[in-house]
Chain A
Amino acid sequence: MTGPDRLPRAEGDVVDATDRLSRAGGGDPWAVLRSATRARVALGRAGDALPTARELEFRAAHAAARDAVHQPLDVDRLRTALGELIEVHSAAPDRATYLQRPDLGRQLAQGTSLPRTDADLAVVIADGLSPRAVHEHAADLVTALLERLPGWSVAPLVVAIQARVALGDAVGAALGARAVVVLIGERPGLSSADSLGVYLTWDPRPGRADSERNCVSNVRPPHGLSYAQAADTVAALLGAARELGASGVVLKDEGPALPAGAG
């Protein structure tokens, strides 16, 4: 989180803050409030409820987030952009099970077989909680990342359905890869339904803890990280992980820690 370096510590600061509020609004108390935060302030009322227009704005934001969660991943669309992909499924057979059983989303479906490659890197594109984020950002980000990894042998790209982050451990281990990068749709917020996260795990194998991963979050140009920014960071993390032979909190100075609940 970034924030202002200084918060008010004395009465004068608060007066200053509220003065600025008043001036910013040009005397209209509603504009005063709206100019100060992107929280949904000064919505007005219809009796003791929200006015129709404000209510519909909220519903539109919630609908976008809901649709982002429940839209199925379009694998053909990814193939068009990225070429041949191996499709795998987690042990969660459908969306409802996936949402209730994160443990199943971390395991491969029974009978999944993957070729052993002994590659340096496996890349897994996972639907996660926002297939929409994958549709909008995954192909461009994979392309940007691979451009930055000359000299790395890369296993065939894998697309994973009903997948949590830790499914990448099983995929990476089966492929015999030294590292796995998982691109996954993040839990949609009301104002950000298309945010993609990237998780890097060195020496992937089932049972890895979240503390053994590094994360680059909020890839969603133009509002969040750009593809180039995210790819630069992930490539640097991969280089550092290869030097160290490990990922996670040991690399924490170079990458942000995992957000709570990301697994």
Chain B
Amino acid sequence: MRRVGTVGGHTYEFPTLVELLAKATPARSGDVLAGCAAESAAERVAAQTVLADLPLATFLDEQVVGYDEDDVTRLVLDTHDAVAFAPVASLTVGEFRDRLLAWAAAGDEASISDLAPGLTPEMVAATSKLMRNADLVAVGRRTRVVTGLRSTLGLPGRLASRLQPNHPTDDPLGVTASIVDGLLQGCGDAVIGINPATDSPARTVALLELVDEVIGRYGIPTQSCVLAHVTTTLRALEQGAPVDLVFQSVAGTQPANRGFGVTLDLLAEARAGALALGRGTVGSNVTYFETGQGSALSADAHRGIGGRPVDQQTLEARAYAVARHFEPLIVNTVVGFIGPEYLYDGKQVLRAGLEDHFCGKLLGLPMGVDVCYTNHAEVDEDDMDSLMLLLGAAGCTFLIAVPGMDDVMLHYQSLAFSDVLTTRSVLGLRPAPEFEAWLARMDLLDDAGRVRELTADAPAARALLAAASA
């Protein structure tokens, strides 16, 4: 069947599914760089029109990246759950969008959330391309994904945070200072997660022991993570280090994952290692993944059927299929980190953040976002504010926060700890329940449940430091 769409009296043909998806994607610089973007606004809408009439089940028969060549495609199709898919199996992509919005408006979380095992990344990516930002928010907030290890994440009305206490030399004092600063501002309920300055096993073990000690000393219901390469974490596990979460960056094609130095077997081995430690109290999700649009293209590993470039948003959704196989506690897209050649400005970053959250959630992931930017992108704090508030409204699982918006190790800007407080207070959201109870025990909350604004001699601030040096 020829796939042809007409807009403004001009007829456009989309010979392959790869081209159809790419041309239907809202504009972004990475697809232009890859050479797969629509060449005009009219061509983009024509592609969206054709995509809307495509049966959802097409994606089970026709691949974007070949089954024989790519283990991500095999993982997706070999684990597809036809029973979970059944309620929407007869719909087109456009009808599926309408159905999701109807369920969301009715507050029918179960009908949306139960679909996950029956959905493929390509189905979800295709649907997102037909949605406006508000659609992505409306459905995202009604997609329920709850996970846990020592805190419970993803509950309604909750917004968690990753406390990111990076330091240019992994200095223990510096890391500790940033951890205390974040805790005093009610952050860290999703994870206290450090990007190490170097990927050595000895340093990873040392940082794991440092954070484990802080968590144990303060009795904090959260988990730690050192975001080293999975092979480094495996070494740490062999040495008996206190590993709560196995971390890895993942992407949507086998060659891109090879570029990250990971295979599905390696991830399974590390997960089994962490699971065997039994460090959870309220759940047993022991993996953490980061992703980001453009990662496959930047590794020159972005091609699909016929060697054609696949758009970066579809490839991003495929990364979520890798992540969900390992039942993660948390996943986040690092949405503005990669630079303006992939997402040029605030509009593109905002859209991508909402797409990633929607696609991840719909595929069953506990999805968070690193709301962030680099200095050579056309992005500033106002853009970040818009995205964080929309993500809060969208029911985002967690946001990443650093001291004063400035990551002094990775040299980019993320959210400040206080931005998490703003998002919670503006939208009436609360921390993870176990963590909220801990904040109350530490006398860090006022009578209204807000994180106190501390003065220099506040008992709570002194208590936290004193507890550490007792």
Known A-B contacts A100-B32, A261-B339; the reply to A65 vs B375 at CB < 8 A is: yes
Most buried by B among A15, A17, A47, A54: A17
**Neighbouring B residues of A62 by C-beta, 8 Å:** 375, 380-381, 413
Among A32, A37, A191, the residue within 8 A (CB) of B167 is A37
- A50 contacts B173, CB within 8 Å? no
- Bound CA span A45–B425, Å: 14
Within 8 A of B (CB), among A63-103: 65-66, 68-69, 99-103
Asked if A147 is an interface residue, CB under 8 A from chain B, the answer is: no
For the complex, is B207 an interface residue (Cβ under 8 Å from A)? yes
Chain A residue contacts of B416, Cβ below 8 A: 40, 43, 50
Given contacts A33-B181, A37-B408, A40-B405, contact A8 B206 (CB under 8 A): yes
The reply to whether A15 and B469 form a contact with Cβ atoms under 8 Å apart is: yes
- Give Cα A188 to B411, complex, Å: 9
Chain B residue numbers with a CB within 8 Å of A45 are: 185, 418, 421, 453
**Assembled-state Cα–Cα distance A81/B465 (Å):** 54
A194 to nearest B CB, angstroms? 12
Q: Is the CB of B468 within 8 A of A18?
A: yes
CA separation between A146 and B393, bound complex, in Å?
59
Q: Find out whether the CB atom of B217 lies under 8 angstroms from the CB atom of A100.
A: no
Q: Which residues of B contact A44 (CB under 8 A)?
A: 453
In the bound assembly, the distance between CA atoms of A54 and B210 in angstroms comes to 29
The answer to whether the Cβ of A129 comes within 8 Å of any Cβ in the partner chain is yes
B198 touching A14, Cβ below 8 Å: no
Are the C-beta atoms of A40 and B469 separated by less than 8 Å? no
Q: Among the listed A36, A48, A54, A58, which residue makes an inter-chain contact with B176, where contact means beta carbons less than 8 Å apart?
A: A36
The total of interchain contacts (Cβ-Cβ below 8 angstroms) comes to 190
* In the assembled complex, B247 has its CB within 8 A of some CB on chain A: no
Q: Which residues of B have CB within 8 Å of A13?
A: 172
B468 to chain A, nearest CB (A): 4
Question: Given A21-B177, A261-B339, are A40 and B403 also a contact pair (CB < 8 Å)?
Answer: yes
B213 at interface by CB-CB < 8 Å: yes
By the criterion CB–CB under 8 Å, are A189 and B411 in contact? yes
**Which of A3, A28, A102 is in CB contact (< 8 Å) with B169?**
A3
Residues in A with CB closer than 8 Å to B422 are 48-49
Choose among B175, B209, B376, B465 the residue with the greatest number of A CB atoms under 10 Å from its CB. B376
Rounded to whole angstroms, the CA-CA distance of A103 and B344 in the bound complex is 15
- Given A14-B217, A48-B418 in contact, is the A21-B376 Cβ separation under 8 Å? no
Q: For A50, give the chain B residue with the smallest CB separation.
A: B418
Of the listed residues A29, A50, A65, A103, the one surrounded by the most CB atoms of chain B closer than 10 A to its CB is A29
- Given A29-B461, A50-B404, is A14 in contact with B214 using a C-beta cutoff of 8 Å? yes
Proximity bits, B435-459, A CB within 8 Å = 1, else 0: 0000000000000001101101010
In angstroms, Cα B182 to Cα A42, docked, is 9
Interface status of A22 (Cβ within 8 A of chain B)? yes
A223 at the interface (CB under 8 A from B): no
Q: Are B210 and A14 in contact (CB under 8 A)?
A: yes
Minimum CB–CB distance from B450 to chain A (whole Å) comes to 8
In this assembly, does B374 line the interface, its C-beta being within 8 Å of a C-beta of chain A?
A: yes
Which residue of A is nearest B211, CB measured?
Answer: A14
B345-379 near A? 1/0 per residue, CB < 8 Å: 00000000000000000000000000000111110
Give A45's nearest chain B residue, CB to CB.
B453
B469 touches A21 (CB 8 A): yes
Within 8 A of B (CB), among A184-228: 187-193
State the interface size on chain B (CB cutoff 8 A). 71
Pick from A18, A22, A189, A261: contact of B375, CB below 8 A.
Answer: A189
- B425 engages A187 (CB within 8 Å): no
Task: Assess the B340–A22 pair: CB atoms within 8 A.
Answer: no
* Residues of chain B contacted by A4 (CB below 8 angstroms): 169-172
In chain B, residues 318-348, which have Cβ atoms closer than 8 Å to a Cβ of chain A?
339-341, 344
B178 at the interface (CB under 8 A from A): yes
Pair A3/B170 contact, Cβ less than 8 Å? yes
Task: Tell me if A19 counts as interface (CB < 8 A to partner B).
Answer: yes
Contacts of A17 in B (CB 8 A): 172-173, 176
| Neighbour of A37 across the interface among B177, B344, B380, B466, CB < 8 A | B177
Residue from A14, A22, A30 within 8 A of B213 (CB atoms): A14
A99: chain B residues at CB < 8 Å are 340-341, 344, 376-378
Q: Is the CB of B408 within 8 A of A21?
A: no
Please determine whether A187 and B340 come into contact, CB atoms closer than 8 angstroms: no
| Listed residue (A11, A36, A50, A68) with the most chain B CB atoms within 10 angstroms of its CB | A36
Nearest-CB distance from A99 to chain B (Å)? 4
Asked whether A14 and B170 contact (CB < 8 A) given A39-B178, A100-B340, the answer is: no
B406 at the interface (CB under 8 A from A): yes
* Residue among B32, B168, B206 making CB contact with A7, cutoff 8 Å: B206
Which chain A residue shows the least CB distance to B205? A9
Q: How far is the CB of A96 from chain B (nearest CB, A)?
A: 8
User: Distance (Å) between the CB of B299 and the closest chain A CB?
Assistant: 11
In this complex, what residue of B is CB-closest to A57?
Answer: B404
Known contacts A29-B465, A54-B404; is-contact A48 B456 (Cβ 8 Å): no
By beta carbon, the residue of chain A nearest B461 is A29
Given that A45-B418, A129-B376 are contacting pairs, would A1 and B197 also be in contact in the complex, using a CB cutoff of 8 Å?
Answer: yes
Question: Which one, B167, B207, B450, contacts A39 given CB within 8 A?
Answer: B167
Q: Which of B185, B203, B207, B465 contacts A32 (CB 8 A)?
A: B465
Interface centre among A4, A18, A43, A103 (most CB of B within 10 A): A18
CB-CB < 8 A to B464: which residues of A?
Answer: 29
Whether A101 and B465, one on each chain, are in contact in the complex, defined by CB atoms closer than 8 angstroms, is: no
Q: Does A2 contact B (CB under 8 A)?
A: yes
- Chain A residues with Cβ below 8 Å from B167 are 37, 39
- B169 x A1 contact (CB < 8 A): yes
A193 to B404, CA, bound (A): 18
Question: Contact at A190–B375, with CB atoms within 8 Å?
Answer: yes
Q: Which residues of chain B are near A33, meaning CB under 8 Å?
A: 177, 180-181
| B388 beta carbon closer than 8 Å to chain A | no
Q: Once the chains are docked, how many angstroms separate the CA of A261 from the CA of B292?
A: 15
* Residue from the list B175, B406, B461, B468 in contact with A190, Cβ < 8 A: B406
Instruction: Please provide the 7 A-B residue pairs with the shortest distance between their CB atoms, ordered closest to farther.
Output: A40-B404, A7-B206, A37-B174, A3-B169, A36-B177, A18-B468, A65-B375
List 19 other contacts, CB 8 Å, given A3-B198, A17-B173. A3-B169, A3-B197, A4-B171, A8-B210, A9-B206, A9-B209, A14-B176, A14-B213, A17-B172, A19-B469, A29-B458, A32-B177, A33-B181, A36-B176, A39-B178, A39-B402, A41-B178, A50-B404, A99-B341
Question: Can you report 16 A-B residue pairs in the complex whose CB atoms are below 8 A from each other?
Answer: A1-B197, A3-B171, A8-B213, A9-B205, A18-B469, A21-B469, A29-B458, A44-B453, A48-B450, A58-B405, A65-B375, A99-B341, A99-B344, A189-B375, A191-B408, A192-B411
